[in-house]
Structure 1
Amino acid sequence: MGASYRGMTGRVLDDAYATRRLAPDCEAILARQAREGEAVVREHRPLHLDYGNETDNTPDTCLDLFVPEGEGPWPLVAFIHGGYWQRLDHTAVNFMAPRFLERGMLERGMAFASLGYSVAPHASIDEMIVHCMRGLHAILEQAPSLNLSGEIHLGGHSAGAQLAAMVPLAGARLSGLPAVPLRSLLLVSGVFDLEPIAKCFVNDALGLDVAEARALSPMFQLNPELPATQILYAERDTFEFHRQSLAFAAELAGLGVAVRAACVEDCDHFDILDELGRADSVALRWVR
């Protein structure tokens, strides 16, 4: 019998974290989102910033920054893509940019940055958190010249939600950089306890042991100083994504963090991102 988590082993545990199991059209969704992202880049011509260094300067340590037209200065939504820490790159979420440029979470436009990081097996999750920290600092260092106000709302999807949560929890310690001042967190279909990841198929590329998984788990690195946090999960996410989202929200609420968890109806683990920019989106109603 394989490693157990909450009484689940083997195929049952794998299925609980198989994001594609309840999303049969996921490849078509990802392909469409990629095409939409390419069109957004052609139309808006974002600023491309690289933030690798001499030891890990890879094509993935970069971001695209979209800034609204107009007077500004603009608040920023920085968003971290998913892919179970081993797939995709920052361009996977470029399609989201127009929703924030045009309206944002503040009843006005917001700048949008798609944050990239090196994925496994080329980087550890610790290093991915550091890459996200570097990306945010690359923006902050140029904020005045980029017509940005310095107000940052950080979001992430799936594995990106774990990375986004770990930026304020451990980013400064891991990177040696100053903490990034965040106004809010938007965590979408995330994994906040990585112990089951260390015990299921996802770990084939990550090689985590249980101690490492716990050290990288937002659930076990809690801090009452976290900013206002919204946690979203898809109606057709697996039950473990539902449970983890609600459990993490409960832990944050117990610490006094301003937190809200909500199920986004009629969507799955992948097309939940299509819902974030709709006029009645729960994400756009959360932070004003």
Structure 2
Amino acid sequence: MNINELRMEFYSSMSREELDHHFSPSKFAMSDRATVVDRHTAALQKSTKGARETVECDLGVIFNGTGQSLDIYYPPQVNAETRIMIFFHGGYWQALSLDESGGHAIPLSAHNVILVSIGYQLAPSANMTEIVRQCREGCAFIYKKFPNKKIIISGNSAGGHLSSVMLATNWREYGLDKYPFHGAILFSGVYDLVPIQKCYVNDPLQLTGQEVRDYSPLGSNCIEKLRDLVPKGFPCLLVEGKSDPTSFQKMRESYQKVLEDAGINVKLEILEEDDHFSYVEKMYSEEHEVTKIMIQFICKEI
């Protein structure tokens, strides 16, 4: 039995109630499970506010006709060596915003990295097809705005899913002359939409069968595009907390194999003292392990 068959066996044996439990990261948090989401949101808002007050930034830059916007955080001086990290926030495609997406600009700016946080319309106001389209438009906008810069695509949780879909995109359809990314950092991503369609997360999303086929990183459509479009040897960093839910770990194991089979150079980092939320909250601090790993990857391995 291969790893994808094991993954499907793990999910298919679960009831709706069990799926709801296993895909609720708050139920696996190391502390304050009843209040972890509110605490997480407040922590991200605080660090983003700090970044906006201390880092040069352009906020609310409109990038498409529907009024979606992105925030750009700059290093003290942009030069030929400056890299760009595009980031998509988590929140299961239905929560969080740019107001919780900029804290890690503080250490990134100090290491000559531009942080671009791309906003997207949330469910139920937008379906998955529209969310993906907006994210692709945001990436194309940044590629055209900053030609000849090395771009790293990244995101956490649902943002890790969106980043994975960006990897498996034919960018010529969006007016780009070449593949735009030079690396990827995926933080505790949602790599399989099959169980998502069967649990509480789908109540506002209302995923269609076609959307599951088109936008599931572990689905055959994305896997085929990943193999055809991503350059061989492309560097990808996978990060997760030791206390991430088993369901997320299973998805990561399967997706890691898919990446490796596609010729992508994968590095895995498991943060022993963190859960799904805690390490993301600490990315504003250069002293935390996840920040050191992130900066090392961007500045030394890309």
Equivalent position of 1:98 in the other structure: 106
Greater Cα shift, 219-228 or 62-71 = 219-228
Residues 191-221 of structure 1, C-alpha deviations (whole Å, 9 max, x = no match): 1110000000000001113442132111121
Where does residue 7 of structure 2 map in the other structure? none
Fraction of identical pairs, as percent? 24
1:123 and 2:123 are equivalent in the alignment? no
> Which residue of 2 is the match for residue 262 of structure 1?
269
Please state whether the residue corresponding to 1:266 is helix, strand or coil.
coil
Of the three residues 27, 36, 42, the one matched with 1:21 is 27
| AA at the equivalent of 1:198 | Q
**1:197-276 matched pairs, under 5 angstroms:** 197-220=196-219, 221-222=222-223, 223-224=226-227, 225-226=229-230, 227-276=234-283
Equivalent position amino acid for 1:130 in 2:
R
> Partner of 2:169: helix, strand, or coil?
helix
- Residue deviations 1:124-161 (CA, integer Å, cap 9, x gap): 222212212222232233326xxxx5210010011111
CA contact (8 A) 2:55 2:75 kept: no
CA distance in 2, matches of 1:279, 1:27: 22
* Contact kept? 2:83, 2:113, Cα under 8 Å: yes
Query: How many angstroms does 1:248 deviate by?
Result: 0.4
Q: For 2:18, which of 6, 9, 12 is the aligned residue?
A: 12
Report the structure, 1 or 2, having the larger helix content. 2
Q: Indicate the SS of the match to 2:96.
A: coil
1:20-76 per-residue CA deviation (whole Å, 9 max, x = no partner) reads 1123233112202201211211222411311130xx32xxx2111011112513210
State the alpha-carbon separation in 2 of the partners of residues 121 and 95 from structure 1: 26
Question: What SS does the corresponding residue of 1:243 show, helix, strand or coil?
Answer: helix
Q: CA deviation at 1:275?
A: 4.6
* Farther-moved stretch of structure 1 (225-234 vs 270-279): 270-279
- Is the contact between residue 93 and residue 158 of structure 2 (CA under 8 Å) also seen in structure 1? yes
Paired residue for 1:141? Answer: 144
Give the SS at the match of 2:85.
strand
Give the alignment's TM-score, normalised by structure 2.
0.82
> Counterparts of 2:295 and 2:53 in 1: how far apart (Å)?
25
> How many residues of Structure 1 are paired with residues of Structure 2 in the alignment?
270
Measured at CA, do residues 209 and 133 of structure 1 come closer, stay the same or move farther in structure 2, by a change above 3 Å? Answer: closer
In structure 2, the CA distance between the partners of 1:278 and 1:214, relative to structure 1 (3 Å rule), is farther
Over residues 216-254 of structure 1, what are the superposed CA-to-partner deviations in whole Å (9 max), with x where a residue is unaligned? 111121223433211111111110001111110011112
Conserved 8 A contact 2:128-2:207: no
Return the alpha-carbon distance in structure 2 between the equivalents of residues 231 and 18 of structure 1.
20
**Residue pairs, 1:141-160, within 5 angstroms:** 141-143=144-146, 149-160=148-159
Q: Which amino acid aligns with 1:192?
A: Y
Whether the 8 Å CA contact 1:245–1:261 is kept in 2: the answer is: no
Structure 1 residue runs of 5 or longer lacking an equivalent are 104-108
8 A contact 1:193–1:244 mirrored in 2: yes
Matched, 1:86 2:94: yes
Unmatched 5+ stretches in structure 2: 1-9
**Structure-2 change in CA distance of 1:14 and 1:129 (3 Å):** same
Does structure 2 retain, via aligned residues, the 8 Å contact 1:91–1:114? no
Q: RMSD between aligned alpha carbons?
A: 2.1
CA contact (8 A) 2:93 2:122 kept: yes
Secondary structure in 2 matching 1:219: coil
Deviations 1:178-203 (A, max 9, x none): 36510101111111110000000000
Question: What amino acid maps onto 2:278 in structure 1?
Answer: D
1:52 aligns to what? 64
Output the amino acid matched with 2:72: L
Relative to structure 1, the CA distance from residue 274 to residue 244 in structure 2 (aligned partners, 3 Å threshold; closer, same or farther) is: same
Distance (Å, rounded) in 2 between the aligned partners of 1:37 and 1:279: 17
1-structure distance, mates of 2:89, 2:138 = 13
